[in-house]
């Protein structure tokens, strides 16, 4: 099942996404005619794991981490599916990275890996936009619009064996599978839950496979995770 949020003239509505429409408690809303898609959840934080694919470590000349290496993006970084990524005037090196994301369904802490499926609402997609030439992860990754998220949450998917494909203006830039993660999704959510109280709607992103690269105004970034969907945004 796909869960989505739509911004209408009367405000946001939530429900099941079916054939281009959101089926809410009070009726059917057509995407485009009745409103536009919002990020599919309202997180208090986006917990993002980096350096989680061996090929990425080789590409970026990083050392292999002994435990998940993470940073946090704030809610103000969120951007919806099909909303433009604005290229900041204070960077000359903007990059993309296609990542799978778990959306937390209930307040929890200290969750064992085997119990993680029970506290996850489903999975969505993040483009971890990064101003690579800035100093420090917060400056690079936490700015407004640096977290395109969506288009919806898929509730019925196995996150441990999904193909990923990222294209930039039609050119394939990333082609991999989540089985190549160094730390699997259940390990990562458990690890973070021992350090933070996770809340409904919070997001945990599992890192990007090899070949995150630069983007320029005029580019269109499309990130597809098998069984989940495609997140698409234009760079302006």
- In Å, the largest CA–CA distance within the chain is 52
Residue 158: pLDDT above 70? yes
Domain total for the chain? 2
Cβ(49)–Cβ(181) below 8 Å: no
Which structure tokens are listed for 232? Answer: 């698409």
Name, in order, each residue with C-beta under 8 angstroms of 220's C-beta and a sequence gap of 6 or more. 168, 169, 170, 232, 233, 234, 235
pTM (2 decimals)? Answer: 0.95
**Domain range for 217:** 41-234
* pLDDT confidence band for 170 (50 / 70 / 90): very high
Name, in order, each residue with C-beta under 8 angstroms of 93's C-beta and a sequence gap of 6 or more. 131, 132, 133, 214
* pLDDT confidence band for 58 (50 / 70 / 90): low
| CATH number, position 185 | 3.90.850.10
Parallel/antiparallel/unpaired status of strands 46-50 and 203-205: parallel
Residue 63: pLDDT above 90? no
Q: Are 27 and 84 contained in the same domain?
A: no
pLDDT in tens, 18-36: 999 999 999 999 999 999 9
- Distance in angstroms (rounded) separating the CA atoms of residues 34 and 47: 32
Q: Are 127 and 30 contained in the same domain?
A: no
Q: Are 59 and 163 contained in the same domain?
A: yes
Determine what percent of the chain is predicted with pLDDT higher than 90: 91
Q: Are 53 and 148 contained in the same domain?
A: yes
Q: Are 77 and 20 contained in the same domain?
A: no
Closest by CA to 129, choosing from 102, 93, 183, is: 93
- Distance in angstroms (rounded) separating the CA atoms of residues 197 and 192: 9
Which structure tokens are listed for 151? Answer: 């288009």
């Amino acid at each position: 099942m796909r869960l989505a949020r739509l911004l209408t003239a009367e405000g946001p509505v939530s429900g099941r996404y079916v054939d281009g429409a959101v089926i809410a408690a009070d009726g059917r809303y057509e995407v485009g005619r009745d409103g536009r898609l919002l990020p599919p959840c309202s997180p208090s934080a986006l917990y993002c794991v980096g350096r989680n694919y061996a090929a990425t470590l080789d590409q970026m000349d990083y050392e292999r981490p002994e435990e998940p290496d993470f940073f946090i993006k704030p809610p103000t970084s969120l951007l919806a599916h099909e909303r433009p990524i604005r290229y900041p005037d204070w960077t000359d090196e903007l990059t993309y990275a296609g990542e799978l994301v778990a959306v937390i369904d209930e307040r929890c802490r200290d969750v064992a890996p085997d119990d993680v499926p029970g506290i996850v609402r489903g999975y969505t997609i993040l483009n971890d936009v990064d101003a690579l030439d800035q100093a420090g992860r917060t400056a690079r990754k936490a700015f407004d619009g640096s977290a395109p998220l969506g288009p919806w949450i898929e509730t019925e998917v196995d996150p441990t064996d999904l193909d990923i494909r990222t294209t930039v203006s039609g050119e394939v830039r990333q082609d991999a599978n989540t089985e190549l993660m160094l730390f699997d999704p259940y390990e990562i959510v458990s690890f973070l839950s021992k350090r933070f109280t996770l809340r409904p709607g919070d997001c945990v992103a599992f890192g990007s496979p090899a070949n995150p690269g630069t983007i320029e105004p005029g580019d269109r970034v499309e990130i597809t995770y098998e069984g989940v969907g495609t997140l698409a945004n234009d760079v302006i």
